[in-house]
Amino acid sequence: MKNIKAFAPATIANFNVGYDVLGLSLNNIGDEVELTFNDTNENKIIQIINGDNLPYEIDENCCSVVIRKIQEAQHDFRGVDIVLNKGFAAGSGLGSSSASSAAAAYGYNKLIGSPYSNKELVAFAAEGEKIACGSAHVDNVAPAILGGIILSKGNKPSDIIELPIIDNLYAVTLYPNISVNTSDSRNILKTDVPLADFSKQVSFMGTFVASLYEKDINLFSDSLQDIVIEPIRSLLIPKFKEMKTIALKNSALSFGISGSGPSVFAIAEGLENANKIELALNSIYDNVDISIQTYINALSKESGARILN
């Protein structure tokens, strides 16, 4: 095989209850990476489609950095030409660099005969995250590779847990086209958490995981709350409170910030409710001078990285 094209999805990191350790993949939004052996020992970024500000330097682009890490681990330095096609905005809070990193790791692994399992690829893809946003947490790249809801306490395969999914749930995401830098959005967070909040937030995480195994939609809805990060980060997102109120009024099971923002998400039971929530969220931005984009995705375990050709 000389050429391969891989896709990896956008993701909702944190998912309200798991700051830096939990993430959900969004099946139908994502990035494509095409790799072609170029008969040299050098990787080359040939084209970046829809990613005007992304670097072509191979030490700075997350795709080439991930591929290089795999080449070093394999002692196989056959170079590839890389074409990256971005399917959604960088800086959206929907795991933009992760989708590229995950697609590069997944595609390159397949191109060289799949020496690594999907869980093993997470650590390689995390190197792309490190280059793109300075921190190698895997709450975006793990679900971008594996699909579904992933709990990851580290980047070793044994740290990565694929959680069950309740049927007939949809994520409604809204991206307001404003810039929120991930490192700024991390730096504004408090580093101390009051003990009472810590205790409550731990109970939310525990009951959330239990709700998935029990397939208990009420417990799922009650537990998907963030009392630590959201009160601070939501200040950076115009109309956050109004969006949350209208989403919950329109039967959203939960509402929160996707990753470090500015995107937000609601979880709906059934497509009809998802459509209603999408309309309601759109109405909040009707008179705001910020363009938005909304997406609806079914929650599914079959939503991870995949080969397109």
Member of 7, 9, 10, 14 binding ligand HSE (CB under 6 A) = 14
Residue 133 binding ligand HSE, by CB under 6 A: yes
Of 132-140, 142-150, 167-175, 213-221, which segment contacts ligand HSE by CB under 6 A?
132-140
Name the minimum Å distance from CB 195 to ligand HSE.
22
Member of 9, 107, 128, 259 binding ligand HSE (CB under 6 A) = 259
Q: Are strands 160-163 and 264-269 parallel, antiparallel or unpaired?
A: unpaired
- Of residues 92 and 223, the one with the C-beta less far from ligand HSE: 92
Name the minimum Å distance from CB 188 to ligand HSE.
11
Member of 8, 12, 13, 82 binding ligand HSE (CB under 6 A) = 13
- 302 among known catalytic residues: no
Please identify which residue in the block is written with the tokens 């099946």.
27
Residue 20 binding ligand HSE, by CB under 6 A: yes
Member of 69, 119, 137, 276 binding ligand HSE (CB under 6 A) = 137
Mark residues 186-215: x for contact with ligand HSE by CB under 6 A, - for none. x-----------------------------
Residue 265 binding ligand HSE, by CB under 6 A: no
Of 12-20, 49-57, 167-175, 244-252, which segment contacts ligand HSE by CB under 6 A?
12-20
**C-alpha to C-alpha distance for 189 and 213, rounded to whole angstroms:** 31
Please identify which residue in the block is written with the tokens 């995250």.
129
Name the minimum Å distance from CB 255 to ligand HSE.
16
State the amino acid at position 82 in one-letter form.
I
Of 55-63, 75-83, 99-107, 137-145, which segment contacts ligand HSE by CB under 6 A?
137-145
Contact 147, 303 (CB under 8 A): yes
Strands (E) located in the chain? 3-13, 22-37, 44-49, 80-85, 149-152, 160-163, 169-176, 254-257, 264-269, 292-298, 306-307
Member of 92, 101, 260, 263 binding ligand HSE (CB under 6 A) = 260
**C-alpha to C-alpha distance for 19 and 16, rounded to whole angstroms:** 7
Catalytic residue, from 34, 120, 127, 129: name it: 129
- 129 among known catalytic residues: yes
**C-alpha to C-alpha distance for 49 and 171, rounded to whole angstroms:** 26
Of 109-117, 133-141, 168-176, 190-198, which segment contacts ligand HSE by CB under 6 A?
133-141
Give Cα 16 distance to the centre of its chain. 13
How far lies 221's CA from each of 99, 207, 209, in Å? 27, 10, 12
Number of chain positions touching ligand HSE (CB under 6 A): 12
Please identify which residue in the block is written with the tokens 């989708």.
99
Long-range contacts of 43-46 (CB under 8 A, 24+ apart): 43/67, 43/68, 43/71, 43/79, 43/80, 43/81, 43/82, 44/79, 44/80, 44/81, 44/82, 45/82, 45/84, 46/81, 46/82, 46/83
Question: 262 preceded by cis ω (within 30°)?
Answer: yes
Other CB atoms within 10 A of residue 229 CB:
23
Instruction: Collapse the DSSP code of 260 into the 3-class scheme (helix H, G, I; strand E, B; otherwise coil) and give the result.
Output: coil
Catalytic residue, from 11, 173, 182, 207: name it: 182
Name the minimum Å distance from CB 284 to ligand HSE.
23
* Residues involved in catalysis: 129, 182
Which residues of this protein are in contact with ligand HSE, per CB under 6 A? 13-14, 19-20, 133, 137, 139-140, 182, 186, 259-260
